[in-house]
Structure 1
Amino acid sequence: MPIPGKSLYKLLAALAVLAFIASFVPSLIMLWKGALVIAGIVVLLDLFLLYRRAIPEAERDVHSSFPLGVKRDVGLKLTNTSRYACTLDVYDHFPIQVEATGLPVHLSLAPDQTAELQYQVTATERGKALFRGVQFRLYSRWNFWLRDYRLSLTNEVHIYPNFAAISHLALLATDNHLSQMGIIKKPRRGQGQDFHQLREYREGDSVRQIDWKATSRLGKVISREYQDERDQEVIFMLDSGHRMRARDDELSHFDHTLNALLVLSYVALRQGDAVGLSTFAGSQRWIAPKKGYHTIQNLLNTVYDLQPTTDAPDYIKAASDLLTRHKKRALIIILTNVRDEDSAELKAAVGILRKRHLVLLASLREQKLDQVLEETPTEINSALNTAATHHYLQQRKASFDALTNQGVIAVDVAPQQLGVSLINSYLNIKSSGKL
């Protein structure tokens, strides 16, 4: 159905005013009738020409994959195939999983003219998403009418965890600026290093690194350079239960965990290690440890539509399943949210894993806890809330201390710091030779 335009309302208002005046001045009645007939002809002609006009053609330029929480551009290419100029509003039907800015767009196109426009979207939820169509609101020649038309134009996109951070990390690694992210590479101590190459002595090299045979042969001081052991395996145990649904900012704890998992996977693959994944407390997915950067894509395709469920985590079953699936010694990184009531079950699960593997436990701490402790109590209720928070954190710390005494490496951090903490822990494990 056509939509009346602003010009039509203005014309009707003018005719109404003329009719009101003619009711007091009879000599103007004929003028009003003539104006009414002419106005009706013009309005109907404008409507007829509007529906005779060809609808503009549209093409959408959109990436097939989006990183979560990162702004991306979407392009629309519009072509006026009509012999007449057209004015229109353009609105793109983007998925509910994204937020968009820059719509609708108002523009005019000359005959056979093509225009390219862009707007920005930010993905807020992982999974499959559909751009379903482009909607035009086409103005008639004299703006008495608007024609609403929806063009079917479907594009499917996959919204992944924030893989843009991997590109940023790769750039920093290339420029040797990892410290900008808080990543600290400590020098390896002790024996058991893998020999990498010979090079000229540098200031700060240990005397034990000097290769005296090569030094005497070449007539200059030569040092041995070592590298961390390669061909080891890292397996993530990812909790997809109800606790990971917690949210401190625009991303859930689960999404923060996936982002950290991908960044650490890139670092481990760069170190020459193999990376695998096992999920529990919900949809159970398994990726055997593999080397090579194609593993990142495999991880993305496996977890991009994975959502935390309402199930409770069963640590013992998850540990037993992993021990059955994988026999070779590996670094097992448990990603979860530890509560004090988990102490006995988690301790038993870690005991199962430590029979064959090295275990790193990474737990997400709600920022709300830190915010409560930062506030000064001013009344009895806030004082009780602060005291309860202190008690909860003490119990949580006791649970962590018990695991640490068992030989588990544990970190308890806010979601935003998880990636850096995991990378630093991994590099420390590599440099210490524990794996």
Structure 2
Amino acid sequence: MKTLRALFISSRTWSILIGFVLLFVAAYGLPVLFPVAQVAFVVFVILLLLDGLALFRSANTPFFARREVPDRLSNGDENPLTIYVENRYPFRADADVIDEIPFQFQRRDVLFKVRLKPRETQAIRYELRPTRRGEYSFGAVNVFVLTPLGLLKRRFQFEKERMVAVYPSFLQMRQYELLAATNRLNEVGIKRIRRIGHSMEFEQVRPYSTGDDVRTVNWKATARRTDAGGATLMTNAYQDERSQPVYCLIDKGRVMRSPFEGLTLLDYAINASLVLSNIALIKQDRAGILTFSDRVGQLLPADRRTGHMLKILELLYRQKTRFLESDYEALYTAVRTNIRQRSLLLLFTNFETVSAMHRQLPYLRRLAKDHLLLVIFFENTELRSLLDQPATDTEQIYLKTIGEKFAFEKKQIVKELQQYGIQTILTAPRNLTADTVNKYLELKARGMI
């Protein structure tokens, strides 16, 4: 029974059998074809037996496959996977490799065709992009092997049942960290920002550069440099303020359930929070997380000790969207109770209308009174694509008119928040991480935190 379960008939065999049926039918009209059909059928049956014998004669495993998958997958990123296949048959083998990927991907096209010489090994590489955090279950790697005759298939199964966790986008975090270490953040849209002010902590005397504050010119050091034969202005350099608390406040309410390119707005906010927290730690600041919806979720106090980044990653991995209205009064109470030092608060949320923002404005103003508040919400990119298209009939004119109203309300929200001294970012989901990091570096350069 085990052999029968592993035995499959190839499409070539079915085509040949159909040909024999047509040949025998034709033999009724042309009897001379009947002996030819009989001989051909006997030869076919012998080849079929030889093909089966070649596939099943070995007691050991004559074909081997192994899937190499990371222990964790990065949400929203293309994660590389590799399947290694090895032909241990003494003849050339063709194989169809089917990987049973988790059902969350909703893909049925993970099929690879390979041809291997005897004792040859090949690596099959492909990528998967998860769009939800959580546990993903990989099934078996199914390999259907054919001999050069290609009449029968033998199925082999490897790597049965493996669970892999999908975490927030740690690949994106590593990318930003690497670019920051090599001073190439501009490649992902991070601007170089000249410091406007400075702290009072002296660092060094260095040559003056265009854009430096002229008030920091060190005239005594310049005079000494001139006496030594040079003519270069020297300026005092000051260290950035360090160990400033930076909190990411993540709204998990129903407004963050909206999808964009497979990911929800919550997942975009989580990925951006992970990257920003890592950048803050690199800048010697302290990073913390607070989540909320209809009630306050989890709070991770701002810190920068060893292992703190792992705590942030684990906390963000467990977050889920709730389908209820977010309670900003509970958020304000939690911030006032647990965050006593003046901090930079990055609030990831979404407002579609001015009236929705007005309901929460009193609590936002109270937060901005004690802390530096940065409200981050999202553009409706589908609406933007609609507005960019020319209208050709009355219905499209009506739709564009309504769309312009909603787009104007987004801009009005930004303007009203800024009137109360609240920093804002209105961004497309795909640009969220770069825009957030840019704003953080700008606020730090301006000495506002």
User: What corresponds to 1:145 in structure 2?
Assistant: 152
Does the alignment pair 1:243 with 2:248?
no
Q: Aligned partners of 1:172, 1:14: CA distance in 2, in Å?
A: 63
Q: Aligned partners of 1:48, 1:249: CA distance in 2, in Å?
A: 50
Q: Aligned partners of 1:397, 1:15: CA distance in 2, in Å?
A: 73
Give the Å deviation of 1:400. Answer: 4.0
Is the partner of 1:317 in helix, strand or coil?
helix
Does the alignment pair 1:369 with 2:371?
no
User: What corresponds to 1:285 in structure 2?
Assistant: 298
User: What corresponds to 1:159 in structure 2?
Assistant: 166
User: What corresponds to 2:268 in structure 1?
Assistant: 256
1:411 is aligned with what amino acid?
A: I
CA 1:345–1:196 in 2, change beyond 3 Å: closer, same or farther?
A: farther
User: What corresponds to 1:348 in structure 2?
Assistant: 362
2:269 is aligned with what amino acid?
A: T
Give the Å deviation of 1:225. Answer: 0.4
Query: Higher mean Cα deviation, 371-380 or 348-357?
Result: 371-380
User: What corresponds to 1:385 in structure 2?
Assistant: 399
User: What corresponds to 1:198 in structure 2?
Assistant: 205
Q: Aligned partners of 1:203, 1:351: CA distance in 2, in Å?
A: 38
Q: Aligned partners of 2:17, 2:57: CA distance in 1, in Å?
A: 24
1:278 is aligned with what amino acid?
A: L
User: What corresponds to 1:303 in structure 2?
Assistant: 316
CA 1:356–1:27 in 2, change beyond 3 Å: closer, same or farther?
A: closer
CA 1:22–1:379 in 2, change beyond 3 Å: closer, same or farther?
A: closer
CA 1:101–1:267 in 2, change beyond 3 Å: closer, same or farther?
A: farther
Give the Å deviation of 1:404. Answer: 2.7
Is the partner of 2:300 in helix, strand or coil?
strand
User: What corresponds to 1:324 in structure 2?
Assistant: 337
CA 1:14–1:266 in 2, change beyond 3 Å: closer, same or farther?
A: closer
CA 1:4–1:408 in 2, change beyond 3 Å: closer, same or farther?
A: same
Give the Å deviation of 1:124. Answer: 3.4
C-alpha contact (below 8 Å) 1:278/1:284 kept by paired residues: yes
1:173 is aligned with what amino acid?
A: A
Give the Å deviation of 1:244. Answer: 1.6
Aligned counterpart in structure 1 of residue 87 of structure 2, from 80, 89, 97: 80
Please show how residues 117-128 of structure 1 align to structure 2 within 5 Å: 117-128=124-135
Is the partner of 2:259 in helix, strand or coil?
coil
Is the partner of 1:137 in helix, strand or coil?
strand
Does the alignment pair 1:5 with 2:10?
yes
Query: Higher mean Cα deviation, 241-250 or 151-160?
Result: 151-160
Does the alignment pair 1:358 with 2:365?
no
CA 1:186–1:194 in 2, change beyond 3 Å: closer, same or farther?
A: farther
Q: Aligned partners of 1:256, 1:222: CA distance in 2, in Å?
A: 44
User: What corresponds to 1:231 in structure 2?
Assistant: 243
C-alpha contact (below 8 Å) 2:168/2:270 kept by paired residues: yes
Is the partner of 2:342 in helix, strand or coil?
coil
Q: Aligned partners of 1:27, 1:284: CA distance in 2, in Å?
A: 85
Does the alignment pair 1:434 with 2:436?
no
Is the partner of 1:285 in helix, strand or coil?
strand
Structure 2 gap segments, 5+ residues each: none
Query: Higher mean Cα deviation, 178-187 or 354-363?
Result: 178-187
1:284 is aligned with what amino acid?
A: G
Query: Higher mean Cα deviation, 47-56 or 310-319?
Result: 47-56
1:321-347 deviations in whole A, cap 9, x for unaligned?
232222222111111001323334322
User: What corresponds to 2:48 in structure 1?
Assistant: 43
User: What corresponds to 1:421 in structure 2?
Assistant: 435
CA 1:19–1:195 in 2, change beyond 3 Å: closer, same or farther?
A: same
Give the Å deviation of 1:135. Answer: 0.3
Q: Aligned partners of 1:420, 1:206: CA distance in 2, in Å?
A: 27
Give the Å deviation of 1:90. Answer: 1.2
C-alpha contact (below 8 Å) 1:67/1:164 kept by paired residues: yes
Query: Higher mean Cα deviation, 22-31 or 300-309?
Result: 22-31
User: What corresponds to 2:98 in structure 1?
Assistant: 91
Q: Aligned partners of 2:101, 2:332: CA distance in 1, in Å?
A: 41
1:260-315 deviations in whole A, cap 9, x for unaligned?
32332233222211111111127923222122685444333322353433222211
CA 1:274–1:40 in 2, change beyond 3 Å: closer, same or farther?
A: same
Aligned counterpart in structure 1 of residue 350 of structure 2, from 337, 360, 369: 337
RMSD: 3.4
Q: Aligned partners of 2:252, 2:199: CA distance in 1, in Å?
A: 37
Q: Aligned partners of 1:71, 1:374: CA distance in 2, in Å?
A: 30
1:12 is aligned with what amino acid?
A: L
C-alpha contact (below 8 Å) 1:363/1:412 kept by paired residues: yes
1:85-130 deviations in whole A, cap 9, x for unaligned?
5332111122234487994222333444333332233333333223
Structure 1 gap segments, 5+ residues each: none
Q: Aligned partners of 1:376, 1:107: CA distance in 2, in Å?
A: 48
C-alpha contact (below 8 Å) 2:66/2:159 kept by paired residues: no
Is the partner of 2:402 in helix, strand or coil?
helix
The alignment's TM-score, normalised by the length of structure 1, stands at: 0.84
User: What corresponds to 2:113 in structure 1?
Assistant: 106
User: What corresponds to 2:141 in structure 1?
Assistant: 134
Is the partner of 1:420 in helix, strand or coil?
helix
CA 1:86–1:406 in 2, change beyond 3 Å: closer, same or farther?
A: same
Does the alignment pair 1:313 with 2:320?
no
Q: Aligned partners of 1:160, 1:7: CA distance in 2, in Å?
A: 44
Q: Aligned partners of 1:120, 1:191: CA distance in 2, in Å?
A: 46
1:375-426 deviations in whole A, cap 9, x for unaligned?
4555544444344344444555454444333321122222233333323322
Q: Aligned partners of 2:374, 2:100: CA distance in 1, in Å?
A: 44
C-alpha contact (below 8 Å) 1:99/1:122 kept by paired residues: no
The alignment's TM-score, normalised by the length of structure 2, stands at: 0.82
Q: Aligned partners of 1:187, 1:242: CA distance in 2, in Å?
A: 39
2:144 is aligned with what amino acid?
A: R
